[in-house]
Amino acid sequence: MAIDHLDGRIIVLLAREPRIGVLEMSRRLGVARGTVQARLDRLQSNGVIRGFGPEVDPAALGYPVTAFATLQIRQGQGADVRAHLATVPEVLELHTTTGTGDMLCRLVARSNADLQRVIDRVVGFDGIVRASTAIVMENPVPLRIIPLVEQAALGE
């Protein structure tokens, strides 16, 4: 679970040039191929690297509108609501949280008008008491992990 400097360099390199192979990585990092291979295997079985799935852009798929919805759930209906939301393709992510809301979910839609349809579908379910939605305008920091990896590689 601890990440050393070499692990960090491997992850960063992989993030910058994903198509790169193990051999090329070993050349760039100045270590033997077997080492890189062993490190990668370890990182994956550790769960540090979950996978290499393709990053798909919802906007390019025709869903340029992103929003976050805070949901308040009727007591004891949590499981049902989770199951309901899991069936909605436009729900990209769902968290249960502390605080004023009970759940927070990330939505996408084809347009602002279409967002209404999505929200209706999301909240059109018995267990949901209230929903408040914030539409995303800009995304100054897209989902990233590299700075954290670098910090973990140095600090620990």
Binding region for a copy of itself (CB under 8 A) out of 24-32, 105-113, 115-123: 105-113
Binding region for a copy of itself (CB under 8 A) out of 27-35, 120-128, 144-152: 144-152
Of positions 13, 14, 35, 121, contacts DNA by CB under 7 A: 35
C-alpha to C-alpha distance for 17 and 105, rounded to whole angstroms: 31
**In angstroms, how far is the first alpha carbon of the chain from the final one?**
10
The label of the residue with tokens 């059109």 reads 124
Of positions 23, 61, 134, 146, contacts DNA by CB under 7 A: 23
String of contacts with a copy of itself for each residue 52-91, x by CB under 8 A: xxxxxxxxxxxx--x-x-x-----------x--xx--xxx
Q: Are 128 and 116 in contact (CB under 8 A)?
A: no
Window 112-131: residues binding a copy of itself (CB under 8 A): none
Of positions 38, 86, 135, 154, contacts DNA by CB under 7 A: 38
Q: Are 89 and 104 in contact (CB under 8 A)?
A: no
The label of the residue with tokens 């990896």 reads 149
φ, ψ of residue 133 to 5 degrees: the values are -120, 140
| Minimum CB distance to a copy of itself, residue 34 (Å) | 18
